[in-house]
Amino acid sequence: MSIKQVQVTFDCAEPERVARFWRAVLGHEVPPPPEGFATWDDFDRAQPPGYQGPAFASIDPSDGGPRLFFQRVPEGKVVKNRVHLDVRVGTGLVGAERLAALEAECARLVPLGAVRGQLLLADGVDESCLGMQDVEGNEFCLD
C-alpha cells in the first residue's frame, strides 16, 4: 500500500493564531468544512463543550503540499523541535542572490510575527539558510 497524503501537525497553545501565520507564510487556504456543515463555525458549534475551537487546518490551494494541522495542547513548548519546516525561498540561488532572497522573505515574515534567528552562511557543502521561529517559537528555516 502506498501513502497518498501527508499532514504535518503542530501542537500549540493558540491553534488559530499559528494557523493564520502559516497560511500567510505559505499562501495556504482554509480547507472546506466537513460535509454537512456550511461553515467551520457551524461545525465548531456542533462539537461538545471542551472540544470547540481546539484545532485549525491549512491547505495548499494547488494541492501540491501537505495539509498543515494545528491542535491545542495543554503543555507549552520547552525544547527545540525535532522536526521543522524548510521554507524554500532560495532554491537554485547561490551567493549574494540567495542571501538577498532569504533576507527579503525574512523582512516579509517578521511583521507577521516571525522571529529572526541565526544566518548560516554557505560552507562549500551547504548553501546559506536563515533560522526563524513562528509566532509560538516553533523553529523553521528559510532555505
Does residue 78 belong to any structural domain of this protein?
no
pLDDT of residue 45: 86
Band of pLDDT at residue 39, cut at 50, 70 and 90: confident
The set of residues, in sequence order, having a beta carbon less than 8 Å from that of 86 and lying 6+ positions away, is: 129, 140, 141, 142, 143
DSSP letters for 91-141: TT--HHHHHHHHHHHHHHHGGGT-EEEEEE---SSS--EEEEE-TT--EEE
The model scores a pTM over 0.75: yes
Who has greater pLDDT, 53 or 113? Answer: 113
Question: In angstroms, rounded to a whole number, what is the distance separating the alpha carbons of residues 65 and 83?
Answer: 16
What CATH number does residue 66 fall under?
3.30.720
Question: 66 and 12, same structural domain?
Answer: yes
Who has greater pLDDT, 5 or 62? Answer: 62
* Domain count of the fold of the chain: 2
Question: 12 and 67, same structural domain?
Answer: yes
Question: 56 and 99, same structural domain?
Answer: no
Does residue 34 belong to any structural domain of this protein?
yes
pLDDT tens-place string over residues 86-141: 999 999 999 999 999 999 999 999 999 999 999 999 998 889 999 999 999 999 99
Does residue 116 belong to any structural domain of this protein?
yes
Question: 114 and 62, same structural domain?
Answer: no
pLDDT tens-place string over residues 59-82: 999 988 899 999 988 888 888 888
Give me the residue label for grid cell 465548531: 44
Which residue range(s) make up the domain with 126? 85-142
Does residue 115 belong to any structural domain of this protein?
yes
Question: 11 and 57, same structural domain?
Answer: yes
